[in-house]
Structure 1
């Protein structure tokens, strides 16, 4: 309590506005930003509450929000400048210019293509692991590798194994080629063995030799949603379950991918393939519904 206030022991502070660091600060900030964007004609997506849309089709402005980081995209550059000036007057924002780095993902532009990669994160990961990665690997895991849960000696530093697999899991945001290997190694986080870490070491050598890889988003006149699925059959030596893998494309650009062990043991490869196809079809249906509902909001 400031000096000079009579009877300070019987006084309390009343906050005029939320203070940074308080429990409700982030909620209050998002509510304030939401209110201001709605005043500018934006509609909050019901599929993703961090996404705001203004306009329709060829004149659509999209605002993607993560706490206090905002991405704006609009065909009309002048309107983007006007919106940023308004937000600056209200919130005193910092304009970082064209998008180049967001949430650990680097953005590069080549004519009608955009490349998303995590080169900076990859270099930090490789320097953190402190392993000899001079010998390159051409594939994520050795061919015909069978990792057993019970055989072999326990790895002496399980926390290192868990940390590295967790970092690699974050890397799959722009590296679909790592999805199957990461989901395989993630099965042994509770009790990693020496041969599990050897497989992890092989994967890190592959990452080191492909550190600049990412995903490419291409402009397309026909944004059709399509998917491809596949499955092995009883490939897991511990459970005899199959693994489903699929990728979703919007036009020619990958937007979603997954590698996951199936919940049921199937007696034939046909059953496993149908299960993978059903999972991919369900994902396509849901994402198609998301797209249609977003248009319906406008």
Structure 2
């Protein structure tokens, strides 16, 4: 930290302040807070995931407890209900916490429960995207991308607003977490982030028009009594116009208890 105003004369060349207590808004605060939280989780015998450092896991026999945190919001889940109850008590002794009950909304993802299973979607996020892009009154598209679109970078074509394009595609990438039906279209338009042209922007806006008619779609995790996963795939022959690689399409039916 730099010396506070009025204390500059008390410091020699090369001397700085040592941060002993984090303050909200400082650049060091998120790192210091996460280090403190990680220490607490490890004290309760939780293992930090190598794939995602914000995910902590604990196994007891054949049961597992999972905690994932984003800034100061966290989700606790698993099939070890005694451990979940104990973890809440332990964390309450370390930090000021509030239990909001069953998960309903997290980082733009809505969670709905029924007797059939769990349904997740990003309806509000999609409507906000439509409003931000000025497409709330647009005519819906039947598909997310045109058949045989042939999108590529064309020499001499008019360039689109790169900042607008990157912001729009970034939001579509996040939306594809609960919308696998737009995953292929988003993967195509994301290839032109460095040099978007008008036809690329039109393709991105087509995805938005498709969302206009399907804003309430999402993923349903049904209770089927087993954990089998069924996958389906298809591919063409040298369908990518830029590198002549085959285009691979996959769709998955996820089934869990």
TM range (shorter): 0.7 to 0.9
Q: 2:204 aligns with which of 165, 180, 200?
A: 200
Give per-residue Cα distances to partners, 1:48-91, cap 9 Å, x unaligned.
Answer: 33222233366422211223221112446565344323322321
Matched residue SS, 1:139: coil
Contact 1:154/1:191 (8 A) holds in 2? no
Determine the structure 1 residue equivalent to 2:10: 9
Matched residue SS, 2:243: coil
Matched residue SS, 1:108: strand
TM (norm. structure 1) is 0.70
Contact 1:174/1:215 (8 A) holds in 2? yes
Determine the structure 2 residue equivalent to 1:165: 169
CA RMSD across the alignment: 3.2
Q: Quote the offset at 1:173 in angstroms.
A: 1.0
Question: Structure 1 residues 229 and 25 mapped into 2: Cα distance closer, same or farther (>3 Å)?
Answer: same
Which blocks of at least 5 consecutive residues in structure 2 are unaligned?
A: none
Give per-residue Cα distances to partners, 1:189-223, cap 9 Å, x unaligned.
Answer: 33333333333332221111000111122234322
Determine the structure 1 residue equivalent to 2:121: 117
Determine the structure 2 residue equivalent to 1:273: none
Question: Structure 1 residues 238 and 82 mapped into 2: Cα distance closer, same or farther (>3 Å)?
Answer: closer
Name which of structure 1's ranges 76-85 and 95-104 shifts more when overlaid on structure 2. 76-85
1:170 and 1:100 map into 2 onto residues whose CA distance is 18
Which blocks of at least 5 consecutive residues in structure 1 are unaligned?
A: 3-7, 254-298
Contact 2:145/2:203 (8 A) holds in 1? yes
Determine the structure 2 residue equivalent to 1:83: 87
2:49 and 2:160 map into 1 onto residues whose CA distance is 48
TM (norm. structure 2) is 0.80
Q: 2:195 aligns with which of 191, 195, 199?
A: 191
Question: Does residue 154 of structure 1 match 2:155?
Answer: no
2:108 and 2:159 map into 1 onto residues whose CA distance is 30
Matched residue SS, 2:234: strand
Aligned residues: 249
1:14 and 1:159 map into 2 onto residues whose CA distance is 38
Q: Quote the offset at 1:120 in angstroms.
A: 1.3
Name which of structure 1's ranges 49-58 and 244-253 shifts more when overlaid on structure 2. 244-253
Q: 1:69 aligns with which of 47, 67, 73?
A: 73
1:49 and 1:169 map into 2 onto residues whose CA distance is 21
2:51 and 2:172 map into 1 onto residues whose CA distance is 27
